[in-house]
């Protein structure tokens, strides 16, 4: 059975721990594993904008011994010029794995259903599981452990990051809190799935519309843009004076409610003065540059895990 990584709960708790260990190993020695030696090619397809993801997968595939092949989704027009299934059948004959950033989760699910090589989700409207692996690695580096820690995400609770923190954090046995306006809270089925996982791992999940309650004594405070890719038409409402997110902005006052040694994270790109203040993201509690670097190590680890299993 070909393994794919389409959402955070595609890894069991034990497998997630293995991938994080492997990421640490690859961070210590970039060339410790070379599963793509040959070089085998990996297709990196982007239907949405990218900087960190294209960079880290390109470098990562090369360091694993392979050849990264970037495909511009706007040229490929997958699903409109030809069907997702037909595109997948063409690509899978030539590459060792497919990495895709796209819109609806159903698109990547359909690709995986037609692919004999691993498909990796490089962000969809619903999930961003590679980012969460990088974040968990970062938290482990700074805190020494994951299980039992309180990880709070504040902002748009209905976006891909919030959903992935719920699933990935619960898998790691963390106390995951989402602080979001009542109008932008996580999808019920994802929350339900995260609760089930937390029940098995000793973690917990909590959603609140009170930003202070969400952040209180948290070990990790996280936010993300209020306008995700694909939501540009809503930018006025999401960032304007009447924005429902304003009171969820991560500034020094809000971070002051977290544990004294809390770390602050943001997947980037960041919009200073909106979801996070310059003082916080550029301040001593911020670990965002470690987090961005860890994309490389985490993604090499998941690729090597999928290719070898
Ligand atoms: N929620 C953001 C994450 C960017 C990495 C987006 O989808 O645009």
**What's the pLDDT tens digit per position in 47-91?**
999 999 999 999 999 999 999 999 999 999 999 999 999 999 999
Query: How confident is residue 35, by pLDDT bands cut at 50, 70 and 90?
Result: very high
Enumerate the H helices of the chain as residue ranges.
13-28, 52-63, 73-76, 84-92, 105-113, 129-143, 160-171, 188-201, 211-215, 235-239, 252-255, 278-281, 288-308
Give the gyration radius of the chain's Cα atoms: 19
Is the CB–ligand 1 distance for residue 161 below 6 Å? yes
Chain centroid to Cα 223, Å, comes to 12
Q: Is the pTM of this model over 0.95?
A: yes
Instruction: Take residue 100 and report the two structure tokens written for it.
Output: 């895709």
77 marked ligand binding residue: yes
Active site residue 131: yes
Q: DSSP string spanning 53-77?
A: HHHHHHHHHHHTT-EEEEEEHHHH-
CA 94 – CA 90 distance, rounded (Å):
7
Count the neighbouring beta carbons within 10 Å of the beta carbon of residue 151: 28
Active site residue 128: yes
Instruction: Take residue 161 and report the two structure tokens written for it.
Output: 């990051």
Query: What is the ipTM, given to two decimal places?
Result: 0.99
pLDDT at 172 over 90: yes
Kindly give the distance from the C-alpha atom of residue 267 to the centroid of ligand 1, in angstroms, as a whole number: 8
Percent over 70 (pLDDT), the chain: 100
Is the CB–ligand 1 distance for residue 53 below 6 Å? no
CA 119 – CA 72 distance, rounded (Å):
17
Active site residue 135: no
């Amino acid at each position: 059975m070909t393994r794919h990584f389409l959402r955070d709960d595609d890894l069991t708790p034990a497998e997630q721990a293995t991938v994080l260990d492997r990421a640490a190993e690859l961070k210590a020695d970039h060339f410790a594993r070379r599963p793509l030696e040959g070089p085998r090619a990996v297709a990196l397809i982007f239907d949405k904008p990218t900087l960190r993801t294209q960079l880290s997968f390109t470098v990562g595939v090369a360091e694993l011994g392979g050849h990264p092949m970037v495909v511009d989704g706007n040229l490929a027009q997958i699903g409109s010029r030809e069907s997702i299934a037909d595109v997948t059948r063409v690509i899978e004959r030539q590459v060792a794995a497919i990495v895709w950033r796209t819109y609806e989760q159903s698109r990547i699910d359909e690709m995986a259903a037609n692919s004999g090589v691993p498909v990796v989700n490089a962000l969809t409207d619903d999930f961003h599981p590679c980012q969460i692996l990088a974040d968990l690695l970062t938290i482990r580096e700074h805190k020494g452990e994951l299980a039992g820690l309180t990880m709070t995400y504040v902002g748009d609770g209905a976006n891909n990051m919030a959903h992935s923190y719920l699933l990935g954090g619960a898998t790691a046995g963390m106390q995951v809190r989402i602080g979001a306006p009542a109008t932008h809270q996580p999808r019920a089925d994802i929350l339900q799935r995260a609760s089930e996982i937390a029940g098995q791992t000793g973690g917990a999940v909590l959603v609140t519309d009170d930003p202070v309650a969400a952040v209180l004594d948290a070990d990790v405070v996280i936010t993300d843009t209020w306008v995700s890719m694909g939501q540009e038409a809503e930018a006025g409402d999401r960032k304007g004076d009447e924005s429902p997110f304003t009171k969820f902005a991560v500034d020094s006052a809000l971070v002051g409610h977290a544990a004294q040694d809390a770390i602050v994270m943001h997947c980037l790109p960041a919009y200073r003065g909106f979801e996070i203040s310059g003082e916080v993201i550029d301040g001593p509690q911020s670990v965002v540059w470690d987090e961005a670097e860890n994309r490389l190590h985490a993604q090499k680890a998941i690729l090597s895990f999928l290719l070898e299993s």
